[in-house]
Amino acid sequence: MKIKVCGMKHPENINAVSQCEPDFMGFIFYKKSPRYVLDKTLVFAKEMNPNTKTVGVFVNSPISEVLEIVQEYNLNFVQLHGNESVDYAKKLYNAGVNLIKAFQVNKNFDWDKIKDYKPFVNYLLFDTATKSYGGSGLKFNWELLRNYKEEIPFFLSGGIEIDDAEMIKEIDLPQLFAIDINSKFETEPGVKNEELVNKMINTIRMKSKYQVNDKGFYGEYGGAFIPEMLYPNIKELQESYEEIIQSDSFQEELQALLKDYVGRPTPLYYSKRLSDHYKADIYLKREDLCHTGAHKINNALGQILLAKKRNKKRIIAETGAGQHGVATATACALMGLECVVYMGAKDIKRQAPNVARMKMLGASIVPVTSGSQTLKDATNEAIRDWINNPTDTHYLIGSVVGPHPYPDMVAKFQAVISKEIKNQIKENPTHIIACIGGGSNAIGAFYHFLEDEDVELIGIEAGGMGIDTPETAATLALGSQGVLHACMTTVLQTEDGQVIEPHSISAGLDYPGIGPQHAHLHKTKRVKYSNITDQEALDAAHFLSHMEGIIPALESSHALAYLEKMEIKPTDRIIINLSGRGDKDLETLTKTIKE
């Protein structure tokens, strides 16, 4: 997002604020304004750093005067802040002036009147300040801006202050181009507090240190280590995914499906009996109530819509236990797209019920007989398919793994979990606990809390038979840095880089790697990672079934089991992300019922 500092006046102050490198600086040529320019200002403006564009702000001035000033002082833009007509704008446009047209927006604003200005202006500026909002802290009414349907990018103005920075970063309007800051950053009219301006600029520009950077990395993890053949394909995806996902039409379609097809928002259930038992407030985020029985559908639907917008006709996926295959086959059936699922021959035998579900949904299943005939071999085959069909095929990856932009894209689709939690709670929880295979349900549950350092986030890996045995899937506990499935992350591998076959009682956690964002959150210590054994998870599954009448997936049971290991205080408010339901695990679970 770009930043314009407006109402600059004194040369020393301009000089100081320039050091913060704002994208635009505004000079007011309206005589009645206390920020009206001084002669010295203009001499200075003439020599400004070319990275900061100069904007002259005018209110109903004669056109000849505007043109004269623009010429004399090399102004890059003219901002029309009065009732200038379309014809007025056209004349300046024809004289080669770059224009920003400002509008005061309130509830009764006639959005249609913008249309006629369109051919002549580069940007719009919306001043959303309204008297009735003054003083309440509610200076902006972002919702009003949803009525803006044109493509011309706009500046947002109107009493913006330093405390608004985080809120501004959350605004998801793709046409929002820049913010315009002025009076709330002043010590007196026309004099900016450069420290405050600097802080604002840094906050607005800084991406979270926990999120992906422009190059597709989270610290040293992530990236796209791909065969050359895939390069154009991935690059196109990298360049388009954010814009597509953020567009109104995409969001409308996705939100409607999440609501009526998946059944969102899922409840945040206060578990009274668990709370009594553990002597703290325990909540379950009920992802098990999603259509198809787990969180995976959130991502499958997001990616299907993305594939459709990119005119892909064919979807491929890999699956281990079949859960992601089922979610993908479901989404494909819903959209009428061809679905090919790669699955290890060994897994096909082990996971018969999910194979049956995928077939029922119309997917074709390709058995993979190479290597160990499991998930990682299926992934290799899916990638091979993708290389051979780069233009018409979308590879629908099921977790926050794989080459950039997949980890970030899948995280954004699963972030709906924590977004809902934020709406469902009055005050922040003390802990959020989630299980980790690739890490998508966990990132989803953590996403909107990553910057809330008062919330302890805990990721639970599958310990299998224990992390002191070779039968484990606890990647962060035992792994080392390496490239797996086209991204730099932490991997369970031998000293010479052979991937170790992992083990977990829950098929969904049986993965030898982990999403790069988790590797980074582990390294930066923002998230605490621990592990739970097969037996502990089984016990937790039985316990929850008896205590609450909810049979959890074995994966989610790992997160639940951690309650036994925590030091719990009576004031704790703990949220467990119940990623899925246990129907698929009944065979394993019933074998362990104690008579």
Ligand X SMILES: *Cc1c(COP(=O)(O)O)cnc(C)c1O
Residue 251 to residue 305: CA distance in whole angstroms:
10
Residues 543-572 that bind ligand X (CB under 6 A): 553, 555-556
Interface mask (CB under 6 A) for ligand X, residues 316-335, using x and -?
-------x------------
Kindly state whether residue 436 participates in binding ligand X, applying the rule CB under 6 A. Answer: yes
Residue 321 to residue 509: CA distance in whole angstroms:
9
Minimum gap (Å) between residue 170 Cβ and ligand X: 24
Active site residues: 296, 318, 579
Minimum gap (Å) between residue 580 Cβ and ligand X: 2
Those residues whose C-beta lies under 8 Å from the C-beta of residue 11, and which sit 6 or more positions away, are 40, 41, 43, 44
Binding test (CB under 6 A) with ligand X, winner from 130, 182, 374, 441: 441
Q: Say whether 73 sits in a helix, a strand or coil.
A: helix
Kindly state whether residue 128 participates in binding ligand X, applying the rule CB under 6 A. Answer: no
Residue 328 to residue 319: CA distance in whole angstroms:
10
Residue 504 to residue 5: CA distance in whole angstroms:
56
Which of 54, 504 has the CB closer to ligand X?
504
Kindly state whether residue 182 participates in binding ligand X, applying the rule CB under 6 A. Answer: no
Which of 216, 508 has the CB closer to ligand X?
508
Binding test (CB under 6 A) with ligand X, winner from 7, 26, 159, 439: 439
Residue 113 to residue 37: CA distance in whole angstroms:
30
Which of 377, 585 has the CB closer to ligand X?
585
Tell me, letter by letter, the H, E, C secondary structure of 397-436: CCCCCCCCCHHHHHHHHHCHHHHHHHHHCCCCCCEEEEEC
Which of 79, 319 has the CB closer to ligand X?
319
Per DSSP, what are the bridge partners of residue 101? 80, 124
Minimum gap (Å) between residue 444 Cβ and ligand X: 8
Output b/e per residue, 53-85; b: 16+ Cβ within 10 A: bbbbbbbebeeeebbebbeebebbbbbbbeebe
5 contacts 185 by C-beta, under 8 angstroms: yes
Binding test (CB under 6 A) with ligand X, winner from 437, 463, 513, 516: 437
250 contacts 309 by C-beta, under 8 angstroms: yes
Kindly state whether residue 341 participates in binding ligand X, applying the rule CB under 6 A. Answer: no
Kindly state whether residue 580 participates in binding ligand X, applying the rule CB under 6 A. Answer: yes
Per DSSP, what are the bridge partners of residue 457? 432, 527
Task: Dump the DSSP string for 136-167.
Answer: TT----HHHHTT----S-EEEESS--GGGHHH
Binding test (CB under 6 A) with ligand X, winner from 386, 579, 585, 589: 579
Phi first, then psi: give them for residue 533, nearest 5 degrees: -80, 165
Which of 29, 395 has the CB closer to ligand X?
395
Residue 157 to residue 101: CA distance in whole angstroms:
12
Those residues whose C-beta lies under 8 Å from the C-beta of residue 296, and which sit 6 or more positions away, are 323, 324, 326, 327, 398, 440, 580
The number of residues that bind ligand X (CB under 6 A) is 19
Interface mask (CB under 6 A) for ligand X, residues 275-304, using x and -?
-------------------x-x--------
Phi first, then psi: give them for residue 147, nearest 5 degrees: -75, -10
Which of 28, 316 has the CB closer to ligand X?
316
Minimum gap (Å) between residue 301 Cβ and ligand X: 15
Residue 438 to residue 18: CA distance in whole angstroms:
45
Cα atoms in the 13 Å half-sphere on the side-chain side of 585: 27
Kindly state whether residue 193 participates in binding ligand X, applying the rule CB under 6 A. Answer: no
Residues 494-513 that bind ligand X (CB under 6 A): 508-509
Which of 66, 553 has the CB closer to ligand X?
553
Residues 367-406 that bind ligand X (CB under 6 A): 399
Kindly state whether residue 347 participates in binding ligand X, applying the rule CB under 6 A. Answer: no
Minimum gap (Å) between residue 322 Cβ and ligand X: 9
Kindly state whether residue 351 participates in binding ligand X, applying the rule CB under 6 A. Answer: no
Ranked by CB distance to ligand X, the top (closest) residue is 580
Applying CB under 6 A, the span of 139-147, 216-224, 365-373, 435-443 interacting with ligand X comes to 435-443
Kindly state whether residue 534 participates in binding ligand X, applying the rule CB under 6 A. Answer: no
The residues that touch ligand X, with contacts defined as CB under 6 A, are 294, 296, 323, 399, 435-442, 508-509, 553, 555-556, 579-580
